[in-house]
Chains A and B, each alone.
Chain A
Amino acid sequence: MHLINELINESDTFERIRDQIIAILVVERDNQKILATNAGENPALWDFKAYRERANPWENWLNDTNDTTPIVNVWFDSDSFDMASSNTVHSQTTEATFNIDIYAHGVTKETVDGQIPGDEQAAVTAHRMLRLTRKILMSQEYAYLGLRGIVERRWVRSRAVYQQELGGNQANNVVGARMALTVRFDEYAPEITTANNLCRLFIDITEDAEGQIILAQTHFDFEND
C-alpha cells in the first residue's frame, strides 16, 4: 500500500542549481558583452554559446569554418551525501560536482607577414573561457550562486585543459577544457516544500530554435510575500 499521497514533481535542489549556474553564466555573459562594447573592446571575446546537459556531437564548426564562438555546456556529474551533516527524516546534505565544459575553435589566419596559428588560438580561447566562467561563478556576488539558504558553499574544485587529439589530423583546431564546480547544499524529503522561508524557486530557461540558452531568469516566492 502506498504511503506517499502527493505527486512528486518538484525539482530536486541539484536540478535548480544546475539551471542556476547556466542562468548566471548567460546573464553575466550578456552584460559583459555590453560592458565590452561600452569600453571599446570587441564583445566577441566575451561571447560564448551556452547549453546544458548536451551529449550529441557538436557540429557548429563543421561547415561554418570561420566561426570561432566557443561553446559552454553545463552538466551535472555526480554528488556524494554527507551522512554526518544529514538527518534521515527532513534533509540530507550533499556535495555535487557540476562540469562547465568548454569547447574552443581556432582557425589559422593568414597575415601580411605570416600567420596567427589556429591551434594556438584554440588553446588561448579555451583559457579565456575558463577565466571568464570562473570569475563569474566565483564572484563575490555569487557566493551562494544567488541561492542563499539553499546553497551552503560553492567552490571550483579543478580546471583541466585537454590537448588536441594526437594524430587525429582533423581540419578544425578544437581544444576542450573543463572547470569542475563543487556545490554543497541540502536535498529534502518530498514532504518538505520549503527551505527557510523560501516557498518556491522558479528558474526560467529560454532556448532558441537551435537549443542554445538565450535567456535565464530566477524568481523567488517567499512565505510571507
Chain B
Amino acid sequence: MGLRDIAEQDLGFILESDTNGFRWPVVITSPDGLTVGDDSENPLYGFSDDIAQIIDPDTGQAVSSRLISVALRISTLTARGLTLPVGIADNNVKKWKVSFDDITGETHTFAISSTNPDRTLGLITCILEHICI
C-alpha cells in the first residue's frame, strides 16, 4: 500500500473516528432526494464548521455573515451510493443539502454552494449557504 493509500485511510481516522478526532454527524441529501446519514444506526461523519465571516460588499461598510462548511471522505460517500456533491446553478435542479447540529444541539440545514474536492487524497470540502425550504 502506497503512502497516498495510507493517507486516504488516515482520513477515516481523522474525519470519522470517535476516538481520534473531531468527527461530527452530518446528513447529506442529493438533488434527486437520496439522503445519507439520517439513519441513527448508520450515521455519516465528517467535520463541520460554522464560524463568523465578514463580507466586504465594496461600499466601505461590512456585512456580518458566516463561513459554514463540511469536510467529508469521498470514499465513504461513494460507498453509500452518492455521487460527488457539487454546486448546482440550474434553476430546474435542487441543490445538494447538508444538515448538522451546532454545539447547542440545534439542527441547521444548508445548501451546498460550492465544493473543493481533493481527488488526490480523497477529501471533499463543501462550502454551504443558507436555504429556505
* B91 A62 Cβ-Cβ under 8 A: no
The complex places the Cα of A54 from the Cα of B61 at a distance, in Å, of 8
Verify if B68 is at the interface (C-beta below 8 Å from A).
Answer: yes
Main secondary structure of the interface of B (DSSP, over half): strand
The complex places the Cα of A119 from the Cα of B59 at a distance, in Å, of 18
Count of chain B residues near A, Cβ 8 A: 37
Q: For A119, what are the chain B residues with a Cβ–Cβ distance below 8 Å?
A: 113
Q: For B66, what are the chain A residues with a Cβ–Cβ distance below 8 Å?
A: 62, 170-172
* A57 B64 Cβ-Cβ under 8 A: yes
17 A-B pairs, CB-CB below 8 angstroms?
A: A55-B61, A57-B62, A57-B63, A58-B63, A58-B64, A61-B65, A99-B59, A107-B132, A113-B92, A116-B91, A169-B69, A170-B129, A172-B66, A172-B130, A174-B57, A175-B57, A176-B57
* A109 B53 Cβ-Cβ under 8 A: no
Verify if A173 is at the interface (C-beta below 8 Å from B).
Answer: yes
* B59 A108 Cβ-Cβ under 8 A: no
* A170 B89 Cβ-Cβ under 8 A: no
Q: For B73, what are the chain A residues with a Cβ–Cβ distance below 8 Å?
A: none
- A90-126 CB contacts (< 8 Å) to partner B: 99, 101, 103, 107-111, 113-119
* B61 A73 Cβ-Cβ under 8 A: yes
The complex places the Cα of A119 from the Cα of B130 at a distance, in Å, of 11
* B57 A115 Cβ-Cβ under 8 A: no
Interface 1/0s, chain A 160-189, versus B by CB < 8 A?
001011001111111110100000000000
Residue in A99, A111, A168 whose beta carbon sits within 8 Å of that of B55 in the complex: A168
Sort A-B residue pairs by CB-CB distance and give the 5 closest, nearest first: A176-B57, A162-B58, A57-B62, A65-B130, A172-B65
Given contacts A103-B63, A172-B66, contact A115 B53 (CB under 8 A): no
* B57 A61 Cβ-Cβ under 8 A: no
Given contacts A116-B91, A117-B91, A168-B55, contact A108 B129 (CB under 8 A): yes
Q: For A210, what are the chain B residues with a Cβ–Cβ distance below 8 Å?
A: none
Verify if B90 is at the interface (C-beta below 8 Å from A).
Answer: yes
* A170 B132 Cβ-Cβ under 8 A: no
Of chain A, the residue at the smallest CB distance from B116 is: A169
Verify if A59 is at the interface (C-beta below 8 Å from B).
Answer: yes
Other contacts beyond A107-B130, A110-B131: 19, CB < 8 A: A54-B61, A58-B63, A65-B130, A73-B61, A99-B59, A103-B63, A108-B95, A108-B113, A115-B91, A115-B94, A115-B111, A118-B129, A165-B56, A165-B57, A168-B56, A169-B53, A171-B68, A171-B129, A173-B129
Q: For B111, what are the chain A residues with a Cβ–Cβ distance below 8 Å?
A: 108, 110, 115
